[in-house]
A and B are shown apart, each in its own frame.
Chain A
């Protein structure tokens, strides 16, 4: 027995293949949109994973450091380290800013004069929680100042000099998938430099501030030499950090450590679950819903288009079906032909879509996460939609009058 569907496809194979590819690109877009949504959520999770913390200690009554701004003194970490159950704790600062590229160790940067990259500058203590867990090139920071590890997404290369505020930093290592909740790549620099970058003002502001202090008669008294200098020195430094990352000892519940921090240290502490809740449910909620909404609409539109394509393809063959009926082909054979064609089209579309999405996903500026689960769900959805659409087409095909083959 010959395959009617195969014969029909062979008859108009270019039309079939082109339709399949077109369908595939549409499915690819839908899969990509799902990937964009997943990537967004994953960015938020990556931020938590990369910090390597079980507990975030932040300023009281804030939901920092990611969702709100939080600042606490950098010696608070010592009292946290003394709490029972704490294995390691370290200060960390976060600052999203434009990082400028200066030059590649003497050589002018290729094709770029003074471009800047949006990045989240992380101040961390080497060897402590918060340091990048793995590198894809180069080494970890060894000097206590003026070295940086950057995410490859920043486009920086090893040995490149980048400028953060007033200091130049050498990129000594590259890492991957270290992003802020907004998807900005991270640049890791030593904590002391980061504190300075975050809280120190530019030179003009410092000079103006000095002049302002000097003009204040109560701070610049003639009879008290040294007072003005002391005040100005105290204005120029800042010993704040944004959060303390805490790792608890194995087998100890993070909440058991968080509770005394909240109660006795007068700081806020979040466990990993609470932090994820803050990030996913609060911080990226609106933008994630925005993408999610778009994904839903795109999925519906794609489903409709797939259904219409299969329906119109069958309608286009109505005369041939009438001839088949005229020569006495059984209804089941005709229905099978249409169903097979629809499923074939769907499968080709899915494969093309998946391949296309995989190839263009890395080009996106932000992370696109194509989850295998999404692909499986997509495959099932495509097959179901094709089957449903083909039933519509089959109904029309079965109702066709064999006489139409002759009369037209």
Chain B
């Protein structure tokens, strides 16, 4: 074996050894407890943010009408169908009037009969008046004759009694006439009432709108108050949105809103908060607000899911940090600050947050401080860190 060959082999072996040692060193430094945790950092900077509120809701009609009978009955006709546009006062459906028409006819007859009774009473009154006139004349004559003692006192008294009777008969005839007139009025009022009941079985549109449901068909029986048809006013459509109570600060009437309908996620529609309900849902811990469309889009369907983003006025200038930097340790909220190469947990007080992940830091961090945003794993005070540009994926 030649010496040079041995030397070259020895060199190769030494090279191989160095390679192995290097690989081992790399492995030890890259993984295990000696490896640093890779982090990304950001310089805290002052700025403004536009807090936004986000909620989901459903499209509802501000004014919707349930149209049904006021008494139990059977539906006779329904003349409109779902989707039909109706005008105020237009007949939509009719309940079965059962015997209302017949009862009206009976009352008509009664009213006529009352008229006849009134005529009879009037005739009786005139008869009584004539009798009274005659009785008065007779009485006057008899009284005169009695004074001259042509006739006996008894005959005079009989004439006077006749006159009193005739007076009473007139009063009775007048009372009879009044009773007949009142009877006729009563019957006429009853007939008017019945006619109104007859009109009431016709269901009319209370306002201009669109029929959204037809709940009963002709022949079906409904109870008082049960809806036969439902009508909404399409111009009054709005979104009833539910916002998490914890993220509903600043909710007020008039805030500009962006409404994204599930049917058209690519086109946000402008709107405004029209009403904030004073009652919030205690079970779901949500606040309820109604968002009106600036312009109600065509073909909007009631009950459609919508995502609503409300924009609040911009906040005052403050230190802004990404929400990923905010950590919670036990009861403390804070951020990891890099101070001259060492890690320090700085408790902070956070203010408002925007939907794109920026958080207002009210105190605890000065502008220009280096703050850890992303980290490979949970970090503690004595963690060894290596600052890199990005850990995974694309930046948002």
Contacts and interface: CB of A to CB of B under 8 A. Distances in A.
Interface string A1-41: 00000100111010001000000000000000000000000
A137 B374 contact: yes
A143 B9 CA distance: 66
B353 A142 contact: yes
Interface stretch (B22-30, B148-156, B157-165, B293-301): B22-30
Given A87-B330, A138-B396, A355-B23, A370 B32 contact: yes
9 closest pairs, A vs B, by CB?
A139-B357, A136-B391, A144-B244, A143-B54, A225-B226, A137-B393, A135-B324, A358-B27, A140-B323
A282 B377 CA distance: 27
22 contacts: A9-B13, A17-B16, A127-B246, A134-B374, A134-B376, A135-B374, A137-B394, A137-B395, A139-B323, A140-B326, A142-B54, A142-B323, A142-B357, A144-B247, A145-B55, A176-B376, A250-B330, A351-B24, A354-B24, A354-B27, A355-B27, A372-B33
A223 B223 CA distance: 7
Given A138-B357, A142-B356, A354-B24, 13 more contacts: A9-B13, A87-B330, A133-B378, A134-B377, A135-B324, A137-B392, A137-B393, A137-B394, A139-B322, A139-B323, A139-B324, A174-B392, A348-B20
A158 B355 contact: no
A163 interface: no
Contacts of B324: 134-135, 138-140, 173
A13 B393 contact: no
B283 interface: yes
Interface of B: 1, 6, 9-10, 12-13, 16, 20-21, 23-24, 26-27, 30-33, 54-56, 221-223, 225-227, 243-244, 246-247, 283-284, 307, 322-324, 326-328, 330-331, 353-357, 373-379, 390-396
A142 B395 CA distance: 17
Nearest to A75: B283
Contact of A370 (B31, B246, B283, B392): B31
Contact of B221 (A152, A158, A222, A348): A222
Nearest to A50: B378
Contact of A13 (B12, B27, B31): B12
Nearest to B9: A10
Interface of A: 6, 9-11, 13, 17, 49, 52, 75, 87-88, 127, 133-140, 142-146, 152, 157-159, 172-174, 176-177, 192, 222-223, 225, 239, 247, 249-250, 348, 351-352, 354-355, 358, 370-372, 375
A239 B286 CA distance: 14
B323 A158 contact: no
Contacts of A75: 283
B330 A247 contact: yes
Contacts of B379: 134
Contacts of A348: 20
A159 B326 CA distance: 21
B353 A172 contact: no
A176 B377 contact: yes
A146 B16 CA distance: 55
Contacts of B33: 372
Nearest to A347: B20
Contacts of B395: 137, 158
A370 B55 CA distance: 45
A223 B246 CA distance: 43
A164 B285 CA distance: 23
B287 to A, nearest CB: 11
Contacts of A10: 6, 9-10, 13
A152 B392 contact: yes
Contact of A225 (B13, B20, B30, B223): B223
Contacts of B21: 351
Nearest to B326: A140
B391 A137 contact: yes
**Could you say which of B9, B21, B394 has the most chain A C-beta atoms within 10 Å of its C-beta?**
B394
B64 to A, nearest CB: 14
B392 A136 contact: yes
Contacts of B30: 358
B265 to A, nearest CB: 9
B224 to A, nearest CB: 10
Contacts of B376: 134, 136, 176
Contacts, number: 140
A25 to B, nearest CB: 14
A140 B31 contact: no
A133 B284 CA distance: 26
A166 to B, nearest CB: 10
A172 B357 contact: yes
B250 to A, nearest CB: 15
Contact of B20 (A11, A135, A352): A352
A250 B327 CA distance: 17
A137 B56 CA distance: 26
Given A127-B328, A133-B327, A157 B54 contact: no
A52 B23 CA distance: 37
Given A144-B247, A247-B330, A139 B393 contact: no
A38 to B, nearest CB: 12
Contacts of B23: 351, 355
A225 to B, nearest CB: 4
Contacts of B331: 87-88, 247, 249-250
Contact of A158 (B247, B307, B354, B394): B394
Given A137-B392, A174-B393, A145 B13 contact: no
Contacts of A158: 393-396
Contacts of B24: 351, 354-355
A159 B394 CA distance: 9
Contacts of B284: 192
A172 B31 contact: no
A348 B17 CA distance: 8
A145 B260 CA distance: 13
Given A134-B377, A159-B394, A358 B31 contact: yes
A332 B9 CA distance: 26
Contact of A144 (B54, B221, B357): B54
Nearest to B23: A355
Nearest to B336: A134
A123 to B, nearest CB: 14
A146 B307 contact: yes
A159 B221 CA distance: 55
